[in-house]
Amino acid sequence: MANLNGMMAWTFLQEIEVPESVNDLLINGEEAHIAYKTLRDTAVVTNKRIIISDKQGLTGKKVEVYTIPFKSIIMYSSENGGTFDINTELELWTKAGRFKLNLNKKVDIRKLDKLIAEAIL
């Protein structure tokens, strides 16, 4: 996770199996749809939010968990990578500010785009 001009940003490297540990965070009626490997941990997209776990410190035993509820998203944009781009980007405008998700070329941006659209529209 990095802070770019006041904007929080994370990098999603590739799609992975949804980790069992996320079940402790889910509320009634919430379902995990997809998960991604991030630089230090994982991100899970549910039918209600995006949950990003970020291991802290040298040992990684301390974990900070960020939640971006879909109901807080006002607008979003997706930029698919051009011929020479390594990453694609998804930018979210929320009531709390802007967030950027950098997606490795292994991540299907249209699949993620569709999940977010289904949740907020």
Range 101-108 average pLDDT: 90
pLDDT at 95 over 50: yes
Q: How confident is the model at residue 4 (pLDDT cuts 50, 70, 90)?
A: very low
Percent of the chain residues past pLDDT 90, beyond the cut: 59
Question: Any bridge partners for residue 75, and if so which?
Answer: 93
Record the pTM: 0.85
Residue predicted with more confidence, 1 or 114? 114
CB-based contacts of 109-117 (< 8 A; 24+ apart in sequence): 109/78, 109/80, 111/34, 112/12, 112/34, 112/45, 113/78, 115/33, 115/34, 115/45, 116/45, 116/70, 116/73, 116/76, 116/90, 116/92
Average pLDDT of the chain to the nearest whole number: 87
Query: Tens digit of pLDDT for each residue in 41-80?
Result: 899 999 999 999 987 766 667 888 899 999 999 999 988 7
Q: How confident is the model at residue 81 (pLDDT cuts 50, 70, 90)?
A: low
The dihedral sign for the CA sequence 98, 35, 57, 23 = positive
